[in-house]
Amino acid sequence: MPKAVSVTKKIGKTFKQYGRVTIPQKMLKHSKRREVTVVLEDMRYVFEADKYGRIYLPPEIRQRVEDMQVIEVATSDGNVLVKFKRF
């Protein structure tokens, strides 16, 4: 069973302008599917990563996370999870 892996990075201009999050290819290879789950408070959204490991969040979701500063990408039980944090 693969162990859980986590990567934390600051939210940059690319996310703020386009809503693009790039998932490391190693994490996608260890996942069951190319699906990425975005966790926001009480809601979960599922997106399919493109061939470069990118997902694009719609403006409604970007508005909900505009005051966040850090993106955490983690793998758990064969799934890729994206969480937003304030630090």
pLDDT tens digits, one per residue of 5-15: 789 999 988 89
- Is residue 2 over pLDDT 70? no
Nearest alpha carbon to residue 20 among 36, 40, 41, 4: 36
Pairwise pLDDT comparison (34 vs 49), residue with the higher score: 49
- Is residue 59 over pLDDT 70? yes
pLDDT for 1 equals: 46
β-bridge pairing 79-85 and 35-40: parallel
pLDDT tens digits, one per residue of 14-48: 898 899 999 998 888 888 788 999 999 889 999 99
* HEC per residue, the chain: CCCCEEEEEECCHHHHHHCEEECCHHHHHHCCCCEEEEEECCEEEEEECCCCCEEECCHHHHHHCCCCCEEEEEEECCEEEEEEECC
- Is residue 69 over pLDDT 90? yes
